[in-house]
Amino acid sequence: MAGISLNGAYNHFIQDYVSKDVTQADAHRKDELRDVYKSIAKINKKSPLYLLTDDDSSRNDAIDIKEKARQLQGSIRRLSDHEDKSSLNHSSAFTSDEDKVNASYIGKTPEQDIGNIGFDIEVSQLASSQVNKGRFLPKEATGLPADNYAFDVRIDGQEFEFQFSIYNNDKNIDVQQKLEKLINKANVGLSARIVEDGERTALEIASTHTGLKQGEISQFEIFESSSGLATGSVAYLGIDKVFEPASNAHFTLNGEEKAAISNHFTVGGKFDINLKETTKGSEPIHVGVKKDNDALISHVTALIDNYNSFVQDASGKTDDKFKSNKLRSEIIGIAQQHLANAQDIGISIEGSGTLSIDEELLKQAVSGTSSVESLAPVNNFADSLIAKTKDISVDPMKYVDRPVVNYKNPDSRDYTSPYITSEYSGMMFNNYC
C-alpha cells in the first residue's frame, strides 16, 4: 500500500512540476551550494513552529512558485554570457574587413577600456586539409575483377580497415560511388567525393581537419590491407596519391609571426578569430571591440518581459491559502526601489506593477556616452531579482498560509537543525511515507 502511495506521489510530481528546462541557475559550484545550505540553516534557526495544512493545493502552490522563481532566475542569467551573469556590459568584436577575417568577442572588458583592446592581423596563408585525388577512370569501363577487397587508412595514429565487394557488373563509377558512401559513413575524419572530367571520374578523399601538428608529415595515409582480402584497389584507383598536402595558417599579430593548425582559433582568451582569406597586398586588418547596443537593448527588453510575466503569474493565483498579494508586492517593491525614476531611460512602472518600455528613449540611453551610469538602475534591478528568486527557492512556504504554533524562546540559544532542510521539503514527503 505504501508503494502505491509513493508511486502516486512520484507520478504527480514528475508530470506537473518537474523542471521543463535546465538553465544556468541549476548548475551550482560548491560555494553556491554551501550558501544555499547556510540560508536554509539560518531560516530554521530563527523560524517559529508553524502548522502546515495537509492539502494538495498548498503543496502545489509552493512547488509552483518555487518553479516559477527558478525559471525567472534562469531567464535573467541567460541574458548574459559574461562572468557577472546579470551584467549589462555587452561588447562585440569587429574587424576592418569582415570578408577576410571574422571575429567575435568572448572576454569581459570594462566599457572605459573598450577602445584600447585590439590588434592588427595579416594573413599570409590559410590552414588547409590534405587531399588525395585518385586516377581519372572511364565511368563505364570495368577494371578490377569481382572479389572482396580491403584497404587501410592511418589517421591520427589509428588504423582503420575499409572492406567492400566488387561484383561482375560493377563499373568504375559504381566502385567509386560505393567507396564514397563507405568513407563518408565511417566518420573517421575523412570526407570523400567524386570529381568528373568529361566521361572520366576520380575519387577524391580529404581530411576533415586542417593543418599539421609538430612532427607530422601528413594527416592520413592510405595503403593496401594485409587482412587476406583481395588487394590492388588502392593502386588501381590511385587514392594513395597526395594531391594537396595539409598546411598550417600563417599570420602576424601586431607584426609578430604566428601559426595555427586551424583557421579558427582564439587570441588572448578574448577574441574568437575565423580566417577566411589571405591579406596579401592589402593593409593589415584591425580587430577591435565595440559596445553592442543591439544586444544591450535586447537584454533590457527581455529582462522587463520576464519580470512582467512573473508579476502576472503571481496576480493570477486565486487560492485562498496562497499569499499572492505578499509575493506580488515584494516583487513590485523591487521594481519601485530601483526603477521608480527610470522614465528618462524609457522604463516606467504601470499601475498594475508591470513595466513598460519607450524604445526610443531606451535606444538613446544605450547609445549615449554615459550608458553605464544611466543603466545602473537596471543592472541593480536584475541583481535584486536574482537575490529574490534565490530567497523564494529556499523558502517558498512563506507564501502559503501557515499559522504560528510556537515562537522561538528569545532568551535561549538558537541551534540549527542540520537534518531538516526546510519545512518545504519535509512537507513533500510526510504525506506519503
What is the percentage of the chain residues whose pLDDT exceeds 90?
40
The per-residue pLDDT for 383 is: 87
Please report which helix (H) or strand (E) contains residue 430, including its range.
helix 423-430
Give mean pLDDT, residues 296-317.
81
- Which of residues 342 and 418 earns the better pLDDT score? 342
The per-residue pLDDT for 192 is: 96
**Which grid cell is 339?**
526603477
Overall pTM surpassing 0.75 (yes/no):
no
Specify whether 352 is located in the same domain as 424.
yes
Does residue 405 sit in helix, strand or coil? Answer: strand
Q: What domain count does the chain have?
A: 3
- Residues 429 and 63: beta-carbon distance below 8 Å: no
The per-residue pLDDT for 2 is: 46
Lowest mean pLDDT among 109-123, 167-181, 201-215, 245-259: 109-123
Segment 62-75, tens digit of pLDDT: 777 777 787 788 77
Grid cell 512540476 in the structure block, residue: 17
Range of the domain at 364: 21-86+294-430
Specify whether 212 is located in the same domain as 353.
no
Segment 135-160, tens digit of pLDDT: 999 999 998 999 999 999 999 889 99
How far apart CA 135 and CA 241 sit, in angstroms, is: 9
What is the percentage of the chain residues whose pLDDT exceeds 70?
73
What CATH number does the domain containing 194 carry?
A: 2.60.40
pLDDT for residue 182 is more than 70:
yes
pLDDT for residue 20 is more than 80:
no
How far apart CA 219 and CA 209 sit, in angstroms, is: 8
Segment 352-403, tens digit of pLDDT: 889 999 989 988 887 776 666 788 888 888 889 888 888 887 777 777 766 6
Please report which helix (H) or strand (E) contains residue 46, including its range.
helix 30-46
pLDDT for residue 224 is more than 70:
yes
Does residue 373 sit in helix, strand or coil? Answer: helix
How far apart CA 155 and CA 153 sit, in angstroms, is: 6
Residue 294, CA distances (Å) to 161, 366, 367, 370 in order: 52, 9, 10, 16
pLDDT for residue 82 is more than 60:
no
pLDDT for residue 407 is more than 70:
no
Specify whether 229 is located in the same domain as 176.
yes
Specify whether 358 is located in the same domain as 424.
yes
The per-residue pLDDT for 416 is: 59
Specify whether 267 is located in the same domain as 330.
no
Is the Cα dihedral 260, 262, 266, 271 positive or negative? positive
Would residue 3 count as lying in a domain? no
Residue 114 DSSP code: G
Q: 108-117, 200-209, 306-315: which has the highest mean pLDDT? A: 200-209
- Residues 366 and 372: beta-carbon distance below 8 Å: no
Specify whether 278 is located in the same domain as 222.
no
Neighbours of 208 (CB within 10 A): 12
- Which of residues 314 and 55 earns the better pLDDT score? 314
Specify whether 239 is located in the same domain as 381.
no
Would residue 178 count as lying in a domain? yes
